[in-house]
Chain A
Amino acid sequence: MNASGEVIGAILILIGAIFSLISAIGNVRLPDVYTRSHAASKSSTLGVLCALVGTLLYFLISDGFFSIRLILGIFFVFLTAPVAAHVICRAAYRSQVPLAEQSVQDELKDYYMENEIFEVEDKVELVNDQVK
């Protein structure tokens, strides 16, 4: 009974650590911000989830201790890591960080160009109203 908890915990923790290393290698090797964010957010989230589930199962099987705080941590990481990656990518796109050279097409560009034109028109109208 004791040994099975150790085996399951060790396997899950090792898988999680290897996933984190793969995500860090992707973070070093990939060409631009968006591909790096893709590598870093997804696989490191999976890695930390594997490590936390391994910890939870280890304490559950070997001690019979069920930690609700660990469940809460797993849920929180699962919820917030993709949101953080999305927010960073949007900030990078809006501050005109360029895409990689081998990227083929950029469909968001036209949309943002239109929006910028609308914003400029709004500002011009505001200034005209104030002048009147």
Chain B
Amino acid sequence: MIFETVLITALCILMLAILANLYRIVKGPSSADRVQALDSVGINLIASTAVFSVLLHTHAFFDLILLIGILSFIGTVAFARFIERGVVIERKR
């Protein structure tokens, strides 16, 4: 019983963290701020998926943890390349 309470408290804390990052996404003066905050939201989503899989006592979401990690990293790198050079995939001449 205490275990479920602690897990739900952890989920609420992660929700507060995602809301704070959302404030940075809305307000952030440069686009690098927004990409950084989106990456942080992805990492918080990984943590909340892990907490959910403990709360529901299932193994089914472990693939999802790996998938969110990979997608968040690829998206961040693509956005960073776009900010830096204006293109994501360069064309060879």
Could you list some 22 contacts between A and B, CB below 8 A? A10-B7, A20-B13, A23-B17, A24-B21, A36-B24, A37-B36, A40-B21, A40-B40, A41-B36, A55-B50, A55-B53, A55-B54, A69-B62, A70-B50, A70-B65, A72-B66, A76-B69, A83-B73, A84-B77, A87-B80, A88-B76, A94-B84
Interface centre among B9, B43, B70 (most CB of A within 10 A): B43
Q: A90 on the interface (CB 8 Å rule)? A: yes
Would you call the interface of chain A mostly helix, strand, loop, or mixed? Answer: helix
Would you call A67 and B62 a contact (CB within 8 A)? yes
Interface size of A by CB at 8 A reads: 52
Would you call B6 and A10 a contact (CB within 8 A)? yes
Would you call B24 and A27 a contact (CB within 8 A)? yes
Complex contacts, A16 vs chain B, CB 8 Å: 10, 47
Would you call the interface of chain B mostly helix, strand, loop, or mixed? Answer: helix
One of B3, B30, B37 near A92 (C-beta < 8 A) = B30
B75 vs chain A, min Cβ distance (A): 9
Would you call B36 and A20 a contact (CB within 8 A)? no
- Which A residues fall within an 8 A CB radius of B? 6, 9-10, 13-14, 16-18, 20-21, 23-25, 27-28, 33, 36-37, 40-41, 44-45, 47-48, 51-52, 54-55, 58-59, 65, 67, 69-70, 72-73, 76-77, 80-81, 83-85, 87-92, 94-95, 97
Q: Tell me the total A-B contact number using a CB cutoff of 8 A.
A: 170
A47, B10: Cα distance in complex, Å? 11
Would you call A52 and B6 a contact (CB within 8 A)? no
Complex contacts, A72 vs chain B, CB 8 Å: 66
Q: Which residue of A lies closest to B37 (CB)?
A: A27
Would you call A59 and B80 a contact (CB within 8 A)? no
Would you call B39 and A88 a contact (CB within 8 A)? yes
Given the interface contacts A33-B36, A76-B70, A92-B32, does A69 sit within 8 Å of B65 by beta carbon? yes
